[in-house]
Chain A
């Protein structure tokens, strides 16, 4: 475990959501859990809220969240603990062909 109080992780923003992050493809946030990381991200970029959360403030079903290579749904979900250097990927479903 890190000895400092702050855990810094990088969130990767997919193309469809970059209009909400001023074009940023990655955003660094300080957070101990996936939930905290995403909430911090949405605080900073409020336009992301609709894309990530539904009317009940739950993560949308068609947006997958990975910590490094692993889908958090198959682990501790949004409560998944983070360590500095983790990379969170937001991967929405796309259907173009």
Chain B
């Protein structure tokens, strides 16, 4: 099985007495031994995303002694990260993630070189960054970056250890090896924005990225040390609720637009546009722009949280419709007049307690789902506006007692 290790012309560093002691359980491990450990020391990995998956992956890869670990992330630590992103502690909230991560990893293993890429990975910089590493571990949280990372890995010949999570389920595979399939062989096209909820909207069991990210790191170690059977041509699917692990086969697609026999994509493209996201969408969370639908996807009238507050204070409150799930309203409420989840709005429109003449302000957590709902209501003839920024903006600008989640 072809794998990537440090280029032969690079100086091969050997293990110091400190390292021999530190890695003794590896050295005594049959089929790994000193040779495997030296391969790790002379190799490198780029983790795209230092979040739920990146936290355990980076921790174990540093502990294991991978010589050079690059991290791509430009986020700061938020309290809602701590339920799963175990690289960070409570005292790290509001710090840049890479500050906290590099401190932790360098303390864990000073023999490891941690390289910080505090940038958004883009079509302009991805090839240069990825080309510096032997293996990539894709732990981002959005579709545009996943396709960007895949294509850049294919173009640079860098194996891509892929992992992704949603709610209680995870997927792991190894893409873009010399003979194996790539992510586009598995999923040629992304879902349209808004159809698949993000982890912020859909929730995620905190421990899920803990073991999916660890599986991902396991594949990285195997590739770098050149041991075992990597997950090439197979997709591992894990279901935490049923504790069910299965693999299905992922054939190489000869018609793949990137790695096929006659590729149509030979340079990096505009991945936001590919994923149906407008150019001016806001940057977000871990690695690049996110795929949450933003207000800009829907040309609908907006009301600011200040407008709503003033109208309420003046006794001139519009009808407020919450289109989140009911469990979200239990976490944080803006005192809406009615709650109908966005996905049920079409079927339950007759239940709407406002008439087409009433002014309706629609809200959700961030303003994304409510924009979609506002557009729908306007199509149906309702006088609806979107509350810009949703619960998060209300909490930031009006009432900090409303929890952010």
A74: chain B residues at CB < 8 Å are 251, 253
The stretch from B45-53, B118-126, B348-356 touching chain A is B45-53
The stretch from B136-144, B266-274, B368-376, B385-393 touching chain A is B136-144
Once bound together, how far apart are the Cα atoms of A34 and B179, in whole Å?
30
Interface size on B, as a range, is 35 or more
Once bound together, how far apart are the Cα atoms of A64 and B189, in whole Å?
11
The listed residue with most A CB atoms (<10 A of its CB), out of B202, B246, B247, is B246
User: Given the interface contacts A14-B169, A64-B186, does A94 sit within 8 Å of B164 by beta carbon?
Assistant: yes
User: Given the interface contacts A71-B250, A96-B198, does A15 sit within 8 Å of B189 by beta carbon?
Assistant: no
Q: Annotate B49-84 by CB proximity to A: 1 below 8 A, 0 otherwise.
A: 101111000000000000000000000000000000
B141–A93 CB distance below 8 A = no
Write the chain A residue with the least CB distance to B171.
A94
Write the chain A residue with the least CB distance to B53.
A97
B154 interface residue per 8 A CB criterion: no
Tally A-B pairs: CB < 8 A: 98
Interface members, chain B 119-159 (any A CB < 8 Å): 138-143, 146
B250: chain A residues at CB < 8 Å are 71
A95–B146 CB distance below 8 A = yes
Write the chain B residue with the least CB distance to A87.
B246
Least Cβ–Cβ distance between A23 and chain B, in angstroms:
10
User: Given the interface contacts A66-B248, A71-B249, A89-B248, does A94 sit within 8 Å of B189 by beta carbon?
Assistant: no
Interface members, chain A 72-94 (any B CB < 8 Å): 74, 89, 91-94
Q: Annotate A26-65 by CB proximity to B: 1 below 8 A, 0 otherwise.
A: 0000000000000000000000000100000000111010
Q: Annotate B84-113 by CB proximity to A: 1 below 8 A, 0 otherwise.
A: 000000000000000000000000000000
**Interface CB pairs A-B, < 8 A, 29:** A15-B241, A16-B167, A16-B197, A25-B239, A61-B189, A62-B190, A64-B186, A64-B187, A71-B249, A71-B250, A71-B251, A89-B237, A89-B246, A91-B237, A92-B191, A92-B196, A93-B190, A94-B164, A94-B166, A94-B196, A95-B146, A95-B196, A95-B291, A96-B164, A97-B49, A97-B51, A97-B53, A97-B163, A97-B165
The 9 tightest CB contacts between A and B, nearest first, are A94-B166, A96-B199, A97-B141, A61-B189, A97-B139, A62-B191, A93-B187, A96-B165, A15-B167
